[in-house]
Amino acid sequence: MSQIIEITAPPLPQYIISGSTHMSYGGKHLSRKNIGVFDLLVVSQGCLYVGEEKRNYEVSAGHALILRPDCYHYGFSGCKEETVHHWLHFQVSGNWRVIEQSEYCKQHSAQEGEEGAYMSLHPFTTTPFALAVPQFTYLPQLQKMIDTIDELTEMNRTSHHSSVRLKQQALFQDIVGLLAASLETAAPSPGSVCAEKAAAYLREHYREPFSAKRLGENINFHPVYIARCMQKVFGCSPAAYMLLIRIEHSKLLLVQTDMPIERIAEEVGFNHAAYFTACFTKQEGLSPRRFRQHFAWNRES
C-alpha cells in the first residue's frame, strides 16, 4: 500500500544539502537510525534496495523514495548492477505525518468544501495548507528532477552566500512540486516521455555536434515534436538544453582542474574557445576566467 507524507505549511520544507552516488555491484545503502532529516533518493540508473522499518523498496531507475527522519533505514540487498542515485536532505520545521494514500484521498476530498468556505469567511487570514508528496513514486519527469538536484548541488560551493541559499530554497520548491505532481500523474504523458528521452540523450552526447536529425533518429521522434516537447517540459529547445549541459560541465572543470580555457572548451564540445567564452559569459554573467578566479578565491578565503 502506498504512503503519503503530508506536510503542513507554512513553514515550507527547507533544503539542506544534496549530491550523487555511484554504486558498483554489491554496493548497499547505509544503515542509519533517526538521522533527523528527510532523505530523498532518486535513482537514474540500476536499482537501489532500501528498507525502512518493516517495508522494503526496490527503487529502480526513474523512481524516488523519501526516507523519514525518525526511522531505521538499511540496505536489504546489494546492487545487482552499476547504480547511480541522486540524494537530497531536507528538513521540515512544522508538522508532518504519514498516511496511507487511500485514506489521504478520502480526507482530502472531504476537506475541499470546508476549506473553501473558511477562506471566504476569512479572506485576510493566513491559513495553513497541506503539501502531499508520495513516499515512493515513479517520476514522470525524471530528467528534470535530476537536473534540478544537480543544479542545487552545484550551488553548494557558494552556499555561504545568503543570496545563494535563497536561490537554493526557491529551487528546492521545484523539487517538492515535481514530487507532488508525480502523485497526481498515474503515467507519464507521451510528450513528457519524449522530452525525457531527448534530455537523457543530450546529456550523454553533449560533447558531439548538435544535430536535430540525429537526435530524432536515436530516440524515434520527429525533431519538430521533440523541440515542442522539450520547450514545454524544460522551457528551452534541444540545442539550448545541450548548451546548458555543456556550460554546467565546463563550470566543474574550471573549478576542479587547472586545464586551460581552450582545452575546457574543446572538452565540453565547443569547436572555438571564443564562442565558448561568449556563451559562458552570456549564461553566467562573467567570463570563464573570471568565474575560475572567483571560485578559487572563495575556496581560499
pLDDT at 238 over 90: yes
**pLDDT tens-place string over residues 25-39:** 999 998 999 899 999
Q: Parse the chain into domains and list their residue ranges.
A: 1-140, 189-300
pLDDT at 75 over 50: yes
pLDDT tier for residue 269 given thresholds of 50, 70 and 90: very high
pLDDT tier for residue 123 given thresholds of 50, 70 and 90: low
pLDDT tier for residue 121 given thresholds of 50, 70 and 90: very low
CATH code, residues 189-300: 1.10.10.60
Top-confidence residue, 55 or 210: 210
pLDDT at 175 over 60: yes
Confidence (pLDDT) at 113: 45
Top-confidence residue, 85 or 105: 85
Confidence (pLDDT) at 301: 42
CA angle centred on 120, ends 173 and 115, rounded to 5°? 55
Distance from the Cα of residue 217 to its chain's centroid? 27
> What class is the 1-140 domain?
mainly beta
pLDDT tier for residue 41 given thresholds of 50, 70 and 90: very high
